Amino acid sequence: MLTRRRVLVTGGAGFLGSHLCERLVERGDDVLCLDNFFTGSRDNIAHLLEEPHFELMRHDVTFPLYVEVDEIYNLACPASPIHYQRDPVQTIKTSVHGAINMLGLAKRTRAKILQASTSEIYGDPEVHPQPESYWGNVNPIGPRSCYDEGKRAAETLFFDYHRQHGLRVKVARIFNTYGPRMHPNDGRVVSTFIVQALLGEPITIFGDGGQTRSFCYRDDLVEGLVRLMDSPDDVTGPINLGNPGEFTMLELAQKVLAITGSSSAIVHHALPVDDP
User: Rounded mean pLDDT of 224-229?
Assistant: 99
- 229: which residues sit within 8 A by CB, 6+ positions away? 71, 73, 112, 114, 170
Is pLDDT at 184 greater than 90 in this prediction? no
Q: Rounded to 5, what percent of the chain is helix, strand, coil?
A: 40, 20, 40
User: Rounded mean pLDDT of 77-93?
Assistant: 90
Return the amino acid letter for 29.
D
What are the backbone angles phi and psi of residue 274, rounded to the nearest 5°? 70, 10
Helix (H) or strand (E) holding 44, with range, is helix 42-45
Q: In whole angstroms, what is the distance from residue 112 CA to residue 219 CA?
A: 22
CB-neighbour burial class of residue 273 (10 A; exposed 0-12, middle 13-18, buried 19+): exposed
Q: Of 49-63, 85-99, 180-194, 232-246, where does mean pLDDT reach its minimum? A: 180-194
DSSP for residue 48: G
Is pLDDT at 209 greater than 60 in this prediction? yes
The pLDDT, as a whole number, for residue 274 is 64
3-state secondary structure of 71: strand
At residue 31's C-alpha, the angle toward residues 30 and 36, to 5°, is 155
The pLDDT, as a whole number, for residue 71 is 99
Give the residue numbers marked as catalytic. Answer: 147
Beta strands at 212-213 and 247-248: parallel, antiparallel or unpaired: antiparallel
pLDDT band at 161 (very low <50, low <70, confident <90, very high): very high
The pLDDT, as a whole number, for residue 85 is 86
Is CATH 3.40.50.720 correct for 6-178+216-244?
Answer: yes
Q: Render pLDDT for 97-150 as a digit per residue (tens, 0 to 9).
A: 999 999 999 999 999 999 999 999 999 999 989 999 999 999 999 999 999 999
User: What is the DSSP annotation of 236-259?
Assistant: ---EEES-S--EEHHHHHHHHHHH
Q: In whole angstroms, what is the distance from residue 175 CA to residue 188 CA?
A: 12
Residue spans of the domains in the chain: they are 6-178+216-244
